[in-house]
Structure 1
Amino acid sequence: MNLLQRKKLFQKTTTEIKASLVNFSKRRHTRQNEAIFLKKIENVRLRLVEGGLQEDAKELWILKTIYLAQNNYIDFISLLKKKKYYEAWCVLERCEINLKNLMKHIPNEYIEQLHVDFLVHQVPLWQEVYPYKIFASSEFLEKKIRCSECKQLITPRSSCSHLVGEVYNGKLCYRIIEDMEILGIAMVPNPVQKICVPFKKSENGEDVAHYNYQPLDMIVDGLPTLFYWWEINHTIDMQPRSNFDHMETNELCPCGSGRQFIICCSSKEFVLTPHKEIVPLKVM
């Protein structure tokens, strides 16, 4: 395949991808469709790299990453409708990670044209509405690190020229941790990995439902479509203490202070609680 043929293949492929990305809210997403798409993209990437077309290979990676982020959002919505809240939360984090990898490289014209602005706006809002506020965070000692691009070992005295987060040969560069030691685990409000959600267990080892997913259900039931722009209006509600009689005193105070209920608002007649009002804006 000569250079002109590679360029034509690139143009044909990117035109097809963009058409799918523009209409992503109507796209029928399945694991099989995604696998076929990714295999096709990989074949084109190899042809571009063989021809030395690094910029074209990078643009192909950008479009592929947008596609994956959109699929993450489609999966998130599907799981949310099925009330599989934690599974949906994990998929939403994968969408967030894809967007973070993308934003350094994406051309400005793609942000609105391919609905990336919608995802960037909505993903953190969905995360804010979720009841998960405290997470497990592990501290690691990384003993053996390797570059994903050249496979060279990374040490304090030896490294390679590849930068984490850059795109080489149509692939994102990252570090591979081949050996590590867990030093400790802490409970934090802003974890590196948002999937580390703690759940209560019964005496039989089964999960005990103790998170309130009602705000999520209200959004799902209230919006005409979940491919809809919305925002949050933050207000304060005054609620009688009796509304929280079901709470254990060592739980976090509903006022949002981050302190235990027993040492915060448990003895008060009324509790001031943060309230989130969902404001619909426009369809995507």
Structure 2
Amino acid sequence: MTSLKFELIAELKLFTRKKTNEKRQAKYLQACKTLKSRLVSQGKQAEAKEIWCLENALLAQNMYIKFINLLRREKFYKAWCLLEQCEITLGNLKRHFPQMLSQEVYLDFLYHQVPLWQEVFPYRIFNSTEFLEKKILCSTCKSPITPRKFCGHDKGEIYDGEICYRIIEDFEIVGFAMVKNPVNKYSVPFKTDENGKTVDHYDYKCIKMIIRELPTLFYWWEINKTFDWHRRIDFTETLPDDICPCGADRLFKDCCSSKPAILTPHIEIVPLRKC
């Protein structure tokens, strides 16, 4: 256990200098799986949890590196979806990973930067499916979960070297909605052209600016929010049924289209320090 544990920590400390390697990651994940199984069979739950923490920190790091690579290739929606997976992994980790080690393996950096990256994406409205959960199981013991029946395994806790979650085995869709804060951030609505082909109509200039201006994307930065006035003529390409650029979440034709000038949100990226 000690050998793999220290090998994983050493790998995590190379975060800013490494590239993703699928074979290398698969090797570590298989080693973690084998070791966790052995530790659980020996009744060493705490040690199995330690390996789970390091394993998922490695996954989060590699997701972030892949995210950066997708941004550089301007695969913005794919990058967004991967960033959500990274966010979920970090959320699972935060309550379990030792705080004194978080800075050494760059988790503090990821905790800080992932939500900021999400904020500079142009997606503001999302599709959302409303459903009624009919049958819920515990992932750890597969027992049914009801308001009157609880198996004793807490959601988000680590048991047998794995995180406990809820399995929705049966559900009924009851509605659809457009929301600002979805459960699933990947549900981004896109326009379609006359042939039914999906068209990415979003403006990624803020992301492109960050990629272009920062000396390295392994860099701490903050967001400074202000507002700027723009002439109406600057929005000739904004369609009447587009969301108004003022940020009010109303259609342009129902909001600022007739105004001579429009006050729009402005984001200033403030570089802090190299990671």
The answer to whether TM tops 0.5 is yes
Q: Which runs of 5+ in 2 are unaligned?
A: none
Q: Which one-letter code corresponds to 1:84 in the other structure? A: K
Deviation string, structure 1 residues 185-241 (Cα, Å, up to 9, x no partner): 100111011000000011211112310011111111111111111111111111001
Deviation string, structure 1 residues 247-276 (Cα, Å, up to 9, x no partner): 122221111112222222111111001111
RMSD, aligned CA: 1.1
Residue in structure 2 matched with residue 66 of structure 1 by the alignment = 57
Q: Distance in 2 between matches of 1:47 and 1:28?
A: 30
Residue in structure 2 matched with residue 4 of structure 1 by the alignment = none
SS of corresponding position for 2:183:
coil
Residue in structure 2 matched with residue 255 of structure 1 by the alignment = 246
| Residue 33 (structure 1) aligned to one of 24, 28, 40 | 24
Q: Which runs of 5+ in 1 are unaligned?
A: 1-9
Q: CA deviation at 1:28?
A: 2.9
Q: Which one-letter code corresponds to 1:196 in the other structure? A: S
| Residue 125 (structure 1) aligned to one of 82, 98, 116 | 116
1:55 aligns to 2:26 (yes or no): no
1:93 aligns to 2:84 (yes or no): yes
Deviation string, structure 1 residues 104-163 (Cα, Å, up to 9, x no partner): 112110221111110011111111110111100111111221111011122333330101
SS of corresponding position for 1:272:
strand
Runs of 4+ in 1 over 3 A off after TM superposition: none
Q: Distance in 2 between matches of 1:179 and 1:192?
A: 18
TM-score (normalizing by structure 1):
0.94
Deviation string, structure 1 residues 12-58 (Cα, Å, up to 9, x no partner): 11100000101112223122222211111001101111111111111
Residue in structure 2 matched with residue 204 of structure 1 by the alignment = 195
SS of corresponding position for 1:140:
strand
**Pairs within 5 Å for 1:256-271:** 256-271=247-262
Residue in structure 2 matched with residue 20 of structure 1 by the alignment = 11
Residue in structure 2 matched with residue 169 of structure 1 by the alignment = 160
1:77 aligns to 2:68 (yes or no): yes
After the TM superposition, which of the residue ranges 37-46 and 175-184 deviates more from structure 2?
175-184
Q: Which one-letter code corresponds to 1:151 in the other structure? A: K
Q: Distance in 1 between matches of 2:182 and 2:261?
A: 32
After the TM superposition, which of the residue ranges 140-149 and 14-23 deviates more from structure 2?
140-149
Q: Which one-letter code corresponds to 1:246 in the other structure? A: E
What is the identity percentage for the equivalent residue pairs of Structure 1 and Structure 2?
A: 52
Alignment length, in residue pairs? 275
SS of corresponding position for 2:117:
helix
| Residue 43 (structure 1) aligned to one of 14, 34, 38 | 34
Q: Which one-letter code corresponds to 2:170 in the other structure? A: D
Q: Distance in 1 between matches of 2:200 and 2:171?
A: 33
